[in-house]
Amino acid sequence: MTHALADTKPTTRNRAEIAAGYKWDFAPIYADWTAWEQGMKDMEAKMEAFAALKGTLKDGAAAILHAYRLYDEIGIIQYRVFRYPQLQRDTDTRNQEIAGRLQRVQSLFAKFGTATAWFNPELLAIPEPTMRGWLDTTPDLAPYRFPILDAYRQQQHVLDEKGEKLLSYATRFNETPRSVYSELSTSDIKFPTITLSDGKEVTLTPGAYQSILATNYNQADRAKAFEAYLKTYEATKNTYAAIYRGILERGWFMSQARDYPTTLARALDGNAIPVEVYTTLVDTVRAGTMPLQRYFKLRQKILGLKTYHLYDGQIPLVKDDTVWPYQPARDIVRASVAPLGAEYQAKLSELLDGNRLDVYENEGKRSGAYSAGVYGVGPYVLMNYNDTQDAVFTFAHEMGHAMHTRLSEENQPFVTADYTIFVAEVASTINERLLLEKLLAESKDPKERFLLLQHAIDSIVGTFYTQVLFADFEYRAHTLAEKGEPLTADVFSELYGSLLKSYYGEAVSLDELYRYTWTRIPHFYNSPYYVYQYATCFASSAQLYKTMNTGTTGERAAATDRYLTLLKSGGNDHPMEQLRKAGVDLSKRETVQAVIDQMDELVTRLEAEAEKIK
């Protein structure tokens, strides 16, 4: 069902008063909570049926096929029973009844992990040549060929049934450091209140802090906010250090338990990513920071600052009050993907018109934006659209994720429909680039062009350089744990401070408190060795965009087809191989260097536009 949408943002933050066309429709997942309860029962029954298959895999190809198909059925239900409360919880985080239902799902998932601990050891007890014979002679097993053979690839790291069961008991315990971090950094944190130069009092929640950095042109106000905000984290630095030490030691324990030489090797092995991809990325970027430093010096000059600090990095270089309403933004984003073909554009239009976007902020709604898939139903996109240029680019970004999910689900069986994080940010950043180039091509206004170029540069700063700095810190911190070195707040702060100097050089006056930034980066605690993938995806999308827009008409069309094939591939191969098929080789230093060169070119273009608007 579609609804007519107004051009203006709702004035209310009361969700009940926001028009239905701007909100999610959960009915495609479950009709109501009664249907959801039945889904929970169905999943539990199938879990019991799966557990009863223990000991049958040796019986042959038919037994293998039956187990995998049942596993798929459980997985499909998992998506639905999880997303139904999770999405609703995110529209109102205050609803404790829904939060309780989500906890029930998580408990059931933990139980499932223990109930299936026998599967991989039993599967791998079958000799690989025997298994290959069954795969070759059983056409119905074709969808499972890649995951089965990938399990054999990692066989040396799988324990026996007793060992796997023992590790499964630690599943919920392993979440403890993350939970402690969440409570300390959100539930128990007391954010300070400061008085700005205009006399206004502001409580420095994360959102308020970011707003000051992004909108307040008084450097003294930004400095005051920075100092108060970072001191909040610095005050409990030893507790954060103890939590992070737990993260690092957990990682080293799991790596040793599964016989990996390092935590990095274990983190990358699941997707068969060579360790050299990570180290080459870090080494290349650390050696390629001159365009970044050049940009900071340009910012300092344009802003007229005697000294330049990291808290000066988010303020727009040109003041702009342009309003970007949601309805026109939908049309712009829809039009920007035309180079990907009529079919892609039509499918994106269906998502835009199908109550799959939760558009505006409301009281209790979680912040930020994301795209979440539900296999067999499709993607749901959360936004907090605020009529800014950044919101339009975030919109395009999330629709890239949504289309990746849709194309994967439509072209892959369940077992290989889920694409890896390693390729997840490619589609989103391609869509951002398409939007950028469309807007630049249509704009003759130097000020507008300047703002667009600044957005593109800031994307490289945030998605590429900053994430690699984070990845560099993680790698060094985990290495300290592996060597049995001290893991204290002072050690982490010294390490982070040294990296700031390496990346930013003399272009930034490094305030002492920035050494404590590691305390407030959620990815360090929630998902170790994750952030580097933002940078590899950014490099991949830059290469793909280039090939889709250079050469003859036929060459561009072929490159676009390879890209769309990547989006349709889900997880049917290792991500490095998927990217190679699309035309990207991340093992090559020049793939990473291309982003550094692009940054240099964009800064040059920004300088030229700056001269026009003096």
What are 396's two structure tokens? 């395009």
What are 531's two structure tokens? 């952030």
For the chain, what percent of residues have pLDDT higher than 90? 81
Catalytic site residues? 398
Let me know the angle formed at the C-alpha of 455 by 451 and 458, rounded to the nearest 5 degrees.
Answer: 130
Q: What is the pLDDT of residue 12?
A: 86
Q: What are phi and psi of 196, to 5 degrees?
A: -80, 175
Q: How far apart are CA 527 and CA 33, in angstroms?
A: 31
What are 246's two structure tokens? 């737990």
Q: How far apart are CA 550 and CA 564, in angstroms?
A: 17
Q: How far apart are CA 430 and CA 289, in angstroms?
A: 23
Q: What is the pLDDT of residue 11?
A: 85
Residues of the chain with pLDDT under 70: 1-7, 614
Q: What is the pLDDT of residue 2?
A: 39
- Kind plus residue range of the DSSP H or E element containing 203: strand 201-203
Residue of 285, 284, 312 lying closest to 297 (CA atoms): 312
pTM for the model? 0.87
Q: What is the pLDDT of residue 6?
A: 60
Q: What is the pLDDT of residue 374?
A: 97
The residues, ordered by sequence, that sit 6+ positions from 472 with a Cβ below 8 Å of its Cβ are 282, 286, 499
Residue of 90, 92, 117, 86 lying closest to 104 (CA atoms): 86
The residues, ordered by sequence, that sit 6+ positions from 606 with a Cβ below 8 Å of its Cβ are 295, 298, 450, 453, 454, 457
Q: What is the pLDDT of residue 3?
A: 42
Q: What are 116-144's pLDDT values in tens digits?
A: 989 998 999 999 999 999 999 999 999 99
Mark residue 526 as left, alpha or beta (left: phi above 0; alpha: psi -120 to 50; beta: remaining): alpha
Half-sphere exposure of 264 (CA within 13 A, CB side): 20
Can you give the three-state secondary structure of 414-445, one letter per residue? HHHCCCCHHHHHHHHHHHHHHHHHHHHHHCCC
Q: What is the pLDDT of residue 183?
A: 86
| Contacts of the segment 479-487: beta carbons below 8 A, 24+ positions apart | 479/262, 480/248, 481/245, 481/248, 481/249, 481/251, 481/252, 481/263, 482/252, 482/255, 482/262, 482/263, 487/241, 487/244, 487/245, 487/248, 487/249
- Kind plus residue range of the DSSP H or E element containing 163: helix 161-169
Q: Is 566 exposed, middle or buried (0-12, 13-18, 19+ CB in 10 A)?
A: buried
Q: How far apart are CA 395 and CA 578, in angstroms?
A: 26
Pairing of strands 357-358, 378-382: parallel
Half-sphere exposure of 419 (CA within 13 A, CB side): 33
Q: In CATH, what is the architecture of 24-171?
A: Up-down Bundle (1.20)
